Amino acid sequence: MQTKCHLSVLIHRQAEKYGNRRALIYRDFGGTKWKSATWRDFSRKVRHVSNALLNIGVRVQENVGVFSQNAVEYLYTDFGAFGIRAVTVPFYATSSEQQIQYMIDDAQIRVLFVGEQEQYDKARRVFVHCHTLERIIIYDRRVEINPADKNSLYFDDFMTLGENSPRQSEVEKLYAEACDDDLCNILYTSGTTGNSKGVMLTYGQYHAALEANDKVIPVGESDRIMDFLPMTHIFERAWLFLCISEGAEIVVNTNPKDIQQSMRQVHPTCMCAVPRFWEKVYAEVIDRIDRTTPAQRKLLNKALEIGRRHNIEYLSKGRRPPLALRMKYALMHRTLFRIVRDELGLDRPNIFPTAGATVSAEIESFVHSIGICMIVGYGLTESLATVSADFKGRPFTVGSVGRLIDGLQVKFGENDEIMLKGPTITKGYYKREELNKLAFDEEGFFHTGDSGYLKNGELFLTDRIKDLFKTSNGKYIAPQIIESKLLVDKFIDQIAVIADRRKFVSALIIPDYALLEEYAVKHGIKFNSREELCADAGIHEMMAERIETLQQQLASYEKIKRFTLLPNHFTMERGELTNTLKIRRKVLNKNYAAEIEKMYEEEVESQP
């Protein structure tokens, strides 16, 4: 049962309720051994952070920065800051020096917590340029502090300032004074255009979001939650706070590259993820099926078809499957599907919320078919995550993003823009008054920038309004929908659709090079570099056939007519991706202008 209280005291209330029950499972920075902390341990650490923050002069509603990958210390810092009514401002661990300098200056941060050497080095280099920054506190004890640095200390040493809770009477007074109107977080959206905007999130928004999600998200004390997405991301942050409020165990995965190994080691029952995670799982499973004998391939494909019919054609529609189908599915669930789930470490799966990008129908159907309950949803930083989600046990439509949570009003504006109003919606952007005037209409509805529609109580997205392309023939193209259809292919790692003001749709594609090189060797295609592989006619023909198969259901004007294979991935360093790995289309158009123009020039030259 959910513990309903102000976030400033949530961990302490849970410690009173659960005592020495395990709350956290984690590894030290660079460590391989899993450790654990009880709810009492969690409460004590949070209390020490609160006392230590007071001892270094952090004030009520002062902004405190956190520049780190996921770590147990991150949770201690967040809730310790909440205890003294401070505001935490999370930065993505991959943020550039330019980005963190902008956020430090904008939020006037004096105290910055950092994770590992990379974050410390960046913070140290911008220190002299950030006039408000006074102190850096380092989580990872392995970090080498610059000998000339007199402004940094390790988190362990910082915590000694709060040991024995020397200022606990002041902390208790601040607990009593905490209110829902206080700012809790400022989350800077990475954005696909322009400077980051600081989204203001209050404790009242969190309170409303936790209550609304508690009514429809079946997570509880028996669940073990894998913390996978960055805590900076509102999806992961709100999800974690919900799970903590429900008394679930939290597994903190510090290194995202280790996620599949970590899942197999700790066996989570729940994890929120973006569609790309499941696309890779799907691609791996399909690749394994492709490598089996024809007889085995037929059996596995038949099993997936049974799973799809049972879970999609019947259960998702609220219908009871026929007895014969139930018996076949029960056998597959215990045997073949169990092998797949066990390989992922998901032997006790509960729910797996998925959002952040378009989920293709093929991926959604696949995940449900193998007996994993994917909860597809939709949300924004500005809405404190959940706007809508599938409700477990209720009918859902593949392709929708579920039903609205309680408390939200929705209407549709120009270009079918989804507009929202309710207690979970931000009051605006930090120190951006002019932007705030544009963000809300005269009735107080927030402009999401997403287009969509409601059908039978479910919300469907069409695309980001700003992302909609208009071809030179006057046709509107939704690039994210096309991209999601192609990303299910095992040979495609990244893709960017090009169409705006063009005669036809084209695409920049980064292949999965491990699989593509293996294919080339198997088919006798010689190459000395990725560039040669990309240019090979046989490779291009194979990719064209796969792309054509995947886009059969698209209208002719939506189909990719030409594509270019690129030898290097899109990166954050070149500004091509945001911190949440969304494509910055303007940057791609600039960085790959020559490749894009060549696709259209060749089309002109090929005409009689």
Tens digit of each residue's pLDDT (9 = 90 or more) over 298-328: 999 999 999 999 999 999 999 999 999 999 9
- Contact between 608 and 217 under an 8 Å Cβ cutoff? The reply is no
DSSP reduced 3-state for 59: coil
Amino acid type, 5:
C
| CA–CA distance, 277 with 400 (Å, rounded to integer) | 19
Rounded alpha-carbon distances, angstroms, from residue 536 to 465, 506, 510, 589, 592: 37, 18, 14, 24, 20
| CA–CA distance, 278 with 271 (Å, rounded to integer) | 12
Helix (H) / strand (E) element for 464: namely strand 458-464
Strand order from edge to edge, sheet including 352-354: 352-354, 374-380, 385-389, 403-404
| CA–CA distance, 39 with 47 (Å, rounded to integer) | 12
Strand order from edge to edge, sheet including 249-252: 35-38, 22-26, 249-252, 224-227
Q: What is the pLDDT of residue 557?
A: 85
Residue the block writes with tokens 């469907």:
460
Which residues in 68-134 belong to E strands, given as ranges?
87-91, 111-114
Sign (positive/negative) of CA torsion 243, 245, 246, 250?
A: positive
The CATH class for the domain spanning 275-464 reads alpha beta
DSSP reduced 3-state for 358: coil
Q: Which two tokens stand for residue 181?
A: 């109107």
User: Is 222 a residue whose pLDDT tops 50?
Assistant: yes
| CA–CA distance, 535 with 532 (Å, rounded to integer) | 5
Calculate mean pLDDT across residues 193-216: 91
> Where in the chain do CATH 3.30.300.30 domains reside?
468-606
Calculate mean pLDDT across residues 34-60: 97
Q: DSSP code of 490?
A: T
Q: What is the pLDDT of residue 602?
A: 55
Q: What is the pLDDT of residue 190?
A: 67
> Where in the chain do CATH 3.40.50.980 domains reside?
7-178
pLDDT in tens, 465-476: 777 777 776 777
| CA–CA distance, 27 with 16 (Å, rounded to integer) | 25
Q: What is the pLDDT of residue 608?
A: 31
Q: What is the pLDDT of residue 356?
A: 82
Q: What is the pLDDT of residue 195?
A: 66
User: Is 355 a residue whose pLDDT tops 50?
Assistant: yes
- Contact between 19 and 42 under an 8 Å Cβ cutoff? The reply is no
Q: What is the architecture of the domain spanning 468-606?
A: 2-Layer Sandwich (3.30)
* Overall fold of domain 7-178: Rossmann fold (3.40.50)
Q: Diameter of the chain by CA atoms? A: 85
Q: What is the pLDDT of residue 175?
A: 96
Considering only 43-47, 187-191, 373-377, 421-425, which range has the smallest mean pLDDT?
187-191
> Where in the chain do CATH 3.40.50.12780 domains reside?
275-464
Residue the block writes with tokens 């240019």:
535
Q: What percent of the chain has pLDDT over 70?
A: 98
Most confident of 69-83, 350-364, 543-557: 69-83
| CA–CA distance, 161 with 421 (Å, rounded to integer) | 43
Q: Which two tokens stand for residue 510?
A: 């980064």
Number of other CB atoms surrounding residue 200 within 10 Å: 21
Strand order from edge to edge, sheet including 560-565: 492-498, 505-511, 560-565
Q: What is the pLDDT of residue 194?
A: 56
Q: Which two tokens stand for residue 340?
A: 């797949």
Per-residue pLDDT band at 503 (split at 50, 70, 90): confident
pLDDT in tens, 438-480: 999 999 999 998 999 999 999 999 877 777 777 776 777 888 8
Per-residue pLDDT band at 249 (split at 50, 70, 90): very high
Rounded alpha-carbon distances, angstroms, from residue 423 to 382, 450, 603: 11, 20, 52
Sign (positive/negative) of CA torsion 380, 383, 385, 391?
A: negative
| CA–CA distance, 93 with 590 (Å, rounded to integer) | 26
Q: HSE-up of 121 (CA within 13 Å, CB side)?
A: 8
The region that residue 319 occupies, defined by phi over 0 for left and psi between -120 and 50 for alpha, beta otherwise, is: beta
| Helix intervals (H) in 446-489 | 479-486
| CA–CA distance, 336 with 303 (Å, rounded to integer) | 8
- Three-state SS for 222-254 is CCEEEECCCCCCHHHHHHHHHHHHCCCEEEECC
DSSP reduced 3-state for 445: coil
CA 604 centroid distance within chain: 41
Q: Which residues contact 280 (CB under 8 A, 6 or more apart)?
A: none
DSSP reduced 3-state for 19: coil
Helices 336-344, 259-266: crossing angle, 10 deg rounding: 110
